[in-house]
Amino acid sequence: MEIIHISAECYPVAKVGGLGDVVGALPKYQQEKGHIAKVLMPFYKRPFMAENEFELVHEGGMWIGNDWRHFDVIKEKNNKLGFDLYILEIPGLLHQENVYGEWNDSERFTAFQIAALDWLNSWQHKPDIIHCHDHQTGLIPFMMTQCFKYASLKNIPSVFTIHNAQYQGQMGWDKMYWLPSFDNWKTGMIDWNHHINPMASAIKNAWHVTTVSPGYLQELMGSANGLEPLFRQEAGKCSGILNGIDTAVWNPSTDDMITAHYNLKNFVSGKRKNKQTLCDIFHLDAQKPLFSFIGRLVDDKGADLLPEAILRAINETNHHASFLVLGSGRGEIEGALEQIKPHLAGEYNSFIGYNERLSHLIYAGSDFLLMPSRVEPCGLNQLYSLKYGTMPIVRGVGGLRDTVIDFGDPGGYGIRFVQPSIEDICHSINRGVALYQDVKKLNDLRRQMMKLDFSWDTSAQQYIDLYKTLK
Residue nearest to ligand ADP as judged by C-beta position: 18
Looking at the Cβ atoms of 243 and 322, the one nearer to ligand GLC is 243
CA distance 375 to 303: 11
380 binds ligand GLC (CB under 6 A): yes
Q: Which residues contact 316 (CB under 8 A, 6 or more apart)?
A: 426, 429, 430
Q: Which of 261, 267, 207, 266 is nearest to 239 (CA)?
A: 207
Q: Which of 255, 334, 376, 424 binds ligand GLC (CB under 6 A)?
A: 376
Give the DSSP letter of residue 263: -
Looking at the Cβ atoms of 298 and 361, the one nearer to ligand GLC is 298
Looking at the Cβ atoms of 212 and 279, the one nearer to ligand GLC is 212
Q: At its nearest, how many Å lie between ligand GLC and the CB of residue 160?
A: 13
157 binds ligand GLC (CB under 6 A): no
CA distance 6 to 16: 16
Task: Give yes or no for a contact between 298 and 390, defined as CB atoms under 8 angstroms apart.
Answer: no
Among ligand GLC, ligand ADP, none, the one that 220 touches (CB under a kind-dependent 5 to 8 A) is: none
Looking at the Cβ atoms of 62 and 221, the one nearer to ligand GLC is 221
CA distance 348 to 334: 14
CA distance 350 to 439: 27
Quote the radius of gyration of the chain (alpha carbons, Å).
23
Residue 411-440 contact track with ligand ADP, rule CB under 6 A, x = bound: ------------------------------
Among ligand GLC, ligand ADP, none, the one that 372 touches (CB under a kind-dependent 5 to 8 A) is: none
Task: Give yes or no for a contact between 30 and 24, defined as CB atoms under 8 angstroms apart.
Answer: no
180 binds ligand ADP (CB under 6 A): no
For ligand GLC, which stretch binds (CB under 6 A), given 14-22, 60-68, 278-286, 413-421? 14-22
Among ligand GLC, ligand ADP, none, the one that 354 touches (CB under a kind-dependent 5 to 8 A) is: ligand ADP
Q: Which of 6, 19, 87, 220 binds ligand GLC (CB under 6 A)?
A: 19
Q: Which residues contact 250 (CB under 8 A, 6 or more apart)?
A: 360, 363, 384, 387, 388
Q: Is 336 left (phi over 0), alpha (psi -120 to 50) or beta?
A: alpha
17 binds ligand ADP (CB under 6 A): yes
For ligand GLC, which stretch binds (CB under 6 A), given 112-120, 360-368, 371-379, 454-462? 371-379
Among ligand GLC, ligand ADP, none, the one that 326 touches (CB under a kind-dependent 5 to 8 A) is: ligand ADP
Among ligand GLC, ligand ADP, none, the one that 284 touches (CB under a kind-dependent 5 to 8 A) is: none
Q: Which of 9, 18, 209, 246 binds ligand GLC (CB under 6 A)?
A: 18
Q: Which residues contact 353 (CB under 8 A, 6 or more apart)?
A: 328
180 binds ligand GLC (CB under 6 A): no
| Length of the chain measured in residues | 471
Task: Give yes or no for a contact between 319 and 350, defined as CB atoms under 8 angstroms apart.
Answer: no
153 binds ligand ADP (CB under 6 A): no
Q: Which of 138, 169, 377, 389 binds ligand GLC (CB under 6 A)?
A: 377
Give the DSSP letter of residue 438: -
Q: Which of 122, 128, 52 is nearest to 85 (CA)?
A: 52
CA distance 127 to 188: 28
Looking at the Cβ atoms of 374 and 446, the one nearer to ligand GLC is 374
Task: Give yes or no for a contact between 293 and 369, defined as CB atoms under 8 angstroms apart.
Answer: yes
Question: Half-sphere exposure (CA, 13 Å, Cβ side) for 149?
Answer: 15
CA distances for 234 relative to 186, 207, 225, 239, 315, angstroms:
18, 11, 16, 10, 49
CA distance 255 to 262: 9
Looking at the Cβ atoms of 270 and 377, the one nearer to ligand GLC is 377
For ligand GLC, which stretch binds (CB under 6 A), given 81-89, 91-99, 321-329, 377-385? 377-385
Residue 279-318 contact track with ligand ADP, rule CB under 6 A, x = bound: ---------------xxx----------------------
Residue nearest to ligand GLC as judged by C-beta position: 18
Task: Give yes or no for a contact between 237 and 210, defined as CB atoms under 8 angstroms apart.
Answer: no
Q: Which of 380, 394, 435, 450 binds ligand ADP (CB under 6 A)?
A: 380
424 binds ligand GLC (CB under 6 A): no
Among ligand GLC, ligand ADP, none, the one that 355 touches (CB under a kind-dependent 5 to 8 A) is: ligand ADP
Q: Exposed/middle/buried for 19, CB within 10 Å: 0-12, 13-18, 19+? A: buried
Site residues (CB under 6 A) for ligand GLC? Answer: 17-19, 22, 163-164, 212, 243, 376-380, 399
Site residues (CB under 6 A) for ligand ADP? Answer: 17-19, 21, 294-296, 326-328, 354-356, 359, 378-381
